[in-house]
């Protein structure tokens, strides 16, 4: 049997720093569990632009299409802020998502027990929180046409278009219902059907798909009210399905419920490949964090947990995924904290490498 293949794209800023810790975990699986991945590494984002003049080389795109899973760190940074829009680092990531057709973006927000005190919300509001945001990832206002900056009379106008076809809504809704069936059987769909036609269609199609899932309790909420409810009492939710832009905003919000952006992983899934597993890219929800890059301060947990999602969704290794998640939980329970997980003065935070090493030690202890 051939080894599962993994393309690693560390990217920019803290991306390579957190990915170094994931490499340790991949090596641990080879050495201690006899699970070996065929790992290749390549460039995406600003570093790809520096080398090739494009944020994603065609060869890298082709490799991403061939492997069992892609793991990405983060892209972007101030160095690239003034580049032409078409070659900005973020375009590399968007191209990967679009060309791999990764329409369903799973962004879990789980509150680790040891961090319940750390959230900006009251402990009883977040303790035990376990929700899943399913964000549509390949359409909507991120990709709709017409788009651009145009001259209109004596001024310029910036245009982006929110556009959803029935089939695009249908497929992401089905992925969310399927997930709800495996979880708490509750799905809340968020749009703004009160002001947007695309929202009206979204609500209609999700309701229609719901008829195929009679066991799932479906509700609808306007996305602004959803943001409010997420901060008021997030535990009312199980799975949330929403569009590309609302999902971007709501998932950052949900990230802070759990304490830090540095804790949240994500999986972007497409249609099944020949092996029955979905085409997939895994990445932390956070970005390249230019403010802390190069200082050994980044929390590697979001990227480590993204690898755990790859174990679960691409490699059918749910038990090993749980092993990694429990190792992270143990490390947090032992009080190991990177700076983003500390709000008291006088405590020396763990470095990125120390956090990664602590997870390895917890994995060793799990055997
Ligand atoms: P960001 O997520 O990079 O940072 C927001 C804040 O969270 C910063 O204060 C940062 O220090 C902190 N933070 C983020 N990840 C952390 C971690 N692992 N450990 C500790 N602290 C962490 O968002 P931003 O500052 O809005 O964006 C910076 C750049 O990243 C931009 O170029 C943006 O386009 C890009 N970005 C990329 C991705 C991605 O690659 N998927 C996602 C979001 C933003
Ligand atoms: C994310 C990021 C990206 C997005 C950017 C970097 C293109 O914010 O993954 O949440 O807006 O989707
Ligand atoms: Mn975002």
pLDDT digits (tens, 9 = 90+) for 325-364: 999 999 999 999 999 998 777 788 999 999 999 999 999 9
By most ligand atoms within 8 Å of CB, the mutation choice from 56, 94, 105, 140 for ligand 2 is 94
> Per DSSP, what are the bridge partners of residue 190?
221, 242
Name the CATH topology of 130-257: Isopropylmalate Dehydrogenase (3.40.718)
Continuous H helices in the chain: 15-33, 46-52, 58-66, 89-99, 123-126, 166-182, 197-210, 223-232, 244-257, 301-313, 318-333, 352-365
Is the pLDDT assigned to residue 239 strictly greater than 90? yes
Average pLDDT over residues 187-200: 98
Dihedral over Cα of 55, 169, 236, 246: its sign: positive
C-alpha R_g of the chain: 20
**280 in Cβ contact with 267 (< 8 Å):** yes
Residues 114 and 332: their CA atoms lie apart, in Å, by: 6
- Residue 119 is predicted with a pLDDT of 86
Distance CA 242, CA 226 (A): 10
The answer to whether the Cα torsion of 239, 274, 45, 99 is positive or negative is: negative
Angle CA 112–22–254, to nearest 5 = 35
Instruction: Tell me which of 117, 224, 334, 364 is the catalytic residue.
Output: 224
Percent of the chain exceeding pLDDT 70 equals: 100
Annotation: CATH topology of 1-106+263-367: Isopropylmalate Dehydrogenase (3.40.718)
Residue 80 counted as an annotated binding residue: yes
Q: Identify the active-site residue in 12, 192, 238, 330.
A: 192
CB-based pocket (< 6 A), ligand 2:
76, 90, 93-94, 248, 287
For position 85, what pLDDT does the model report? 93
Q: Are strands 5-11 and 130-136 parallel, antiparallel or unpaired?
A: unpaired
Q: Indicate the average pLDDT of the chain.
A: 96
Q: What is the average pLDDT across 159-170?
A: 98
Residues of each domain in the chain carrying CATH 3.40.718.10: 1-106+263-367, 130-257
Name residue, tokens 């799973």: 106
pLDDT surpasses 80 at 1? no
The yes-or-no verdict on residue 86 having pLDDT over 80 is yes
Interface pTM (ipTM) of the complex? Answer: 0.98
pLDDT tens column, 9-34: 999 999 999 999 999 999 999 999 99
Out of 80-84, 108-112, 269-273, give the one with best mean pLDDT.
80-84
User: pLDDT category, 234, cuts 50, 70, 90?
Assistant: very high
């Amino acid at each position: 049997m051939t080894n599962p293949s993994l393309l690693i794209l560390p990217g920019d800023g803290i991306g390579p720093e957190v990915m170094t810790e994931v490499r340790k975990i991949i090596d641990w699986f080879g050495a201690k569990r006899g699970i070996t991945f065929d790992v290749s590494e390549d460039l995406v984002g600003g570093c790809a632009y520096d080398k090739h003049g494009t944020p994603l080389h065609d060869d890298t795109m082709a490799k991403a299409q061939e492997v069992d899973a892609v793991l990405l760190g983060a892209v972007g940074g101030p160095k690239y802020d003034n580049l032409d829009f078409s070659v900005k680092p973020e375009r590399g990531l968007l191209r990967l998502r679009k060309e791999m057709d990764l329409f369903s973006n799973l962004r879990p927000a789980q509150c680790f027990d040891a961090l319940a005190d750390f959230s900006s919300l009251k402990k009883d509001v977040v303790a035990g929180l376990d929700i899943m945001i399913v964000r549509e990832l390949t359409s909507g206002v991120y990709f709709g046409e017409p788009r651009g900056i145009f001259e209109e009379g004596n001024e310029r106008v910036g245009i982006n278009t929110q556009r959803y076809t029935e089939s695009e809504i249908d497929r992401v809704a089905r992925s969310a219902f399927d997930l709800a069936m495996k979880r708490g059987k509750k799905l809340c769909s968020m749009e703004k059907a009160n002001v947007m036609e695309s929202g009206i269609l979204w609500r209609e199609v999700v309701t229609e798909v719901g008829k195929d899932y009679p066991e799932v309790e479906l509700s609808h909420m306007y996305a602004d009210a959803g943001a409010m409810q997420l901060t008021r009492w997030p535990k009312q939710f199980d799975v949330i399905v929403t569009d590309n832009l609302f999902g971007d905003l709501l998932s950052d919000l949900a990230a802070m419920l759990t304490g830090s952006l540095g804790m949240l992983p994500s999986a972007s899934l497409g249609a099944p490949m020949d092996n029955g597993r979905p085409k997939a890219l895994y990445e932390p929800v956070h970005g390249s964090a230019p403010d802390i890059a190069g200082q050994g301060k980044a929390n590697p947990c979001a990227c480590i947990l993204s690898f755990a999602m790859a174990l679960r969704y691409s490699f059918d290794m749910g038990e090993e995924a749980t092993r990694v998640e429990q190792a992270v939980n143990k490390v947090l329970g032992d009080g190991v904290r990177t700076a983003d997980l500390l709000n008291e003065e006088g405590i020396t935070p763990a470095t990125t490498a120390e956090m990664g090493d602590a997870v390895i030690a917890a994995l060793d202890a799990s055997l």
